[in-house]
Amino acid sequence: MEYHKLSAKPCSSYLFFHILFFAFLASFADAAVHFHEFVIEAKPVKRLCRTHSTITVNGQFPGPTLEVRDGDTLVIKAINRGRYNVTLHWHGVRQLRNPWADGPEFVTQCPIRPGQSYTYQFTIQNQEGTLWWHAHSRWLRATVYGALIIYPKLGSPYPFPMPKREIPILLGEWWDRDPMDVLRLALFTGAAPNVSDALTINGQPGDLYRCSSKETAIFPVEAGETILLRIINSAMNQEMFFGVANHKLTVVSVDAAYTKPFATNVIMIAPGQTTDVLLTVDQTPARYYMAAHAYNTANAPFDNTTTTAILEYKSAPCSAKKGQSLKPIFPQLPGFNDTATATAFTSQLRSLSKAKVPLEIDESLFFTVGLGLINCTNPNSPRCQGPNGTRFAASINNVSFVLPRRNSLMQAYYQGQPGIFTTDFPPFPPIQFDYSGNVPRGLWQPVKATKLLKLKYRSKVQIVFQDTNIVTVEDHPMHLHGYQFYVVGSGFGNFDPKNDPAKFNLIDPPERNTIGTPPGGWVAIRFEADNPGIWLLHCHIDSHLPWGLATALLVENGIGKLQTVQPPPLDLPRC
Ligand code: C2O
């Protein structure tokens, strides 16, 4: 096993001792503090033949990659020089006792107004792998996002052979209009927002789109080496299949948690998720496309285009390098609705080592998740352009989550301000029905409210997410802020509380921060509520979030300072 970057490979027992000594020192002394300024501002970005005024961080799209080690502290001053309110979220960072740095607008903070700033300060505690950051206000995250790479502590190896090269692969979606306007229009009409005009890899659509091939991302590699692809689905609304022509991918980590390695031709990745894969550069020297396209599970329009980047062997024939004659080889991707392949992929994921899964459960929750329709008194109104003169909505247990406007949930909770939220979120659906079957129309309309679910500190929690067939079945990637959870089981159809739990994997289930419901199926997660604060739980499909596919967990403080939310920073924005 080799060591990461900054330390040497042991070649004698003396050297080995030396390294152990350094590792010992490192664990105490070497945690670094990283200071960054993130200026959020509009910059001209040209895509698909047109120049847009795009909200970026430091003029970069995608935004800057953050590289830190486990144990390091990040201090990021977000300066809003754009025209929209903004907040930033560090997706997957646990933020222990520190919800103030988590970022979702009106949940843990009020937004940073144009001209204002806020400094996010947080420490990475026992996490390593690939995470990312993104805006968490309206649809700004369409262009405001970047990678957050956490290396092991100095002197700690990866649990796999040290790759020669690491490449972040950010999958995204591009609109030919201002994404904020796309959302605004949808929220006005009540219809679904327009689908994106392109999918992207590291911000570039690639060779299959107009005016794009000059900028296609190209990754030069050396024959024989093994590289690590850190794949992040930062797309707004789209699960994706991803593959590299002629190359096997060995999955080693998801959502910054190591997995038992397994080889695959293609991965399925949902918005919010990350997947690290090893790739060995062992094919005929040439150029190979990496490509991604939609995995679409809903009965609804979607972006059916394909984004590409190029894996280029440095030893590939010259004419190929200039792209004159030798076209890159194209990978085979599964069909858009190939749920069998998606399921076969996700069911192979296992934690690398024995997992600390809660075995005795204190809170057993059953959450129906899905879309809904709000009936209109005047179905011909321009505000009721959803199916049959309705407005789209979405809900968990029939509650369509509404963000407060007067204050953030966390600030209201901390200050004891009443009237901002209630804590009566239902632990199971108000009515039992055949969730994945034919749902009677009378059950399609959810109720709008700001209800939170209260949890005792350290309680052991199980949540079963049950997809409904209201409007359509769909893979809803459910993301929990402030936590990593174990995915102990999943299946199609309705969850069977008698027989399904017996089939749970309580030995080595994968640990994640985002997990999709199989379309028309269920998925079960477990975690210990060891992080006090208010934590958003939501579908990471950004058209579903404003429709209300969310709730928040209010995890109470324990006893003493180390089990209590820390005081907020002085510059926390006020509403
Ligand atoms: Cu990646 Cu609530 O977000």
pLDDT at residue 29 in the model: 54
Q: Two tokens at 154?
A: 């100095």
Nearest atom, ligand 1, residue 536 CA: 2
**136 Cβ below 6 A of ligand 1:** yes
**Mean per-residue pLDDT, 23-40:** 76
Structure tokens at 311: 């894996």
Ligand 1 atom nearest to 514, measured from its CA? 1
536 lines ligand 1 (CB under 6 A): yes
Q: Is 552 in the pocket of ligand 1 (CB under 6 A)?
A: no
> Ligand 1 pocket, 403 CB below 6 A?
no
pLDDT digits (tens, 9 = 90+) for 410-468: 999 999 999 999 999 999 999 999 999 999 999 999 999 999 999 999 999 999 999 99
Q: How far is the CA of 540 from the centre of ligand 1 (A)?
A: 6
Give the nearest ligand 1 atom to 481 CA: 2
Atom of ligand 1 nearest to the CA of 538: 2
> Rounded CA gap, 212 and 308, in Å?
10
Identity of the residue numbered 150:
I
pLDDT in tens, 238-258: 999 999 999 999 999 999 999
Give me the residue spans of the domains in the chain.
29-155, 160-350, 363-563
Assess whether the previous peptide bond of 62 is cis (omega < 30° from 0): yes
Q: Is the CB of 89 under 6 A from ligand 1?
A: yes
Closest CA to 554 of 537, 575, 573, 574: 537
Instruction: Return d(Cα 78, Cα 105) in angstroms, integer.
Output: 14
Return the CATH superfamily for domain 160-350.
Cupredoxins -  blue copper proteins (2.60.40.420)
Determine the pLDDT at residue 26.
45
Quickly state the pLDDT bin for 322 (edges 50, 70, 90): low
Nearest CA-CA partner of 540 in 257, 260, 116, 132:
132
For ligand 1, atom 3: residue with the closest CA: 91
Closest Cα partner for 231 from 243, 214, 223? Answer: 243
pLDDT in tens, 493-505: 999 999 999 999 9
29-155 matches 160-350 in fold: yes
pLDDT in tens, 166-216: 999 999 999 999 999 999 999 999 999 999 999 999 999 999 999 999 999
- Separation of 273 CA from ligand 1 center, angstroms? 10
CATH of domain 363-563: 2.60.40.420
pLDDT band per the 50, 70, 90 thresholds, residue 18: very low
CA angle 109, 110, 113 (to 5 degrees): 135
User: What is the mean predicted confidence (pLDDT) over 543-569?
Assistant: 98
Ligand 1 centre to CA of 136 (Å) is: 7
530, pLDDT greater than 60: yes
Confidence of residue 553 (pLDDT cuts 50, 70, 90): very high
Q: What is the pTM of this model?
A: 0.94
Q: In this predicted structure, what is the pLDDT of residue 319?
A: 57
**Using CA positions, which residue lies closest to atom 1 of ligand 1?**
91
Angstrom CA distances, 25 to 19, 29, 264, 566, stand at 10, 6, 39, 28
Residue ranges of E strands in 83-164: 88-91, 117-123, 129-135, 145-151
Q: What is the pLDDT of residues 108-123, one digit of tens each?
A: 999 999 999 999 999 9
Core vs surface per residue 198-214: b (16+ CB within 10 A) or e: bbbbbbbbbbbbeebee
Contact (CB, 8 A) for 124 and 93: yes
* Cα 148 to middle of ligand 1, angstroms: 14
- Rg of the chain taking only CA atoms, in angstroms: 23
Fold of 29-155: Immunoglobulin-like (2.60.40)
Sheet holding 485-492, edge to edge: 447-449, 399-401, 390-396, 363-375, 460-467, 521-528, 485-492, 511-512
- Is residue 63 within 8 Å of 531, Cβ to Cβ? no
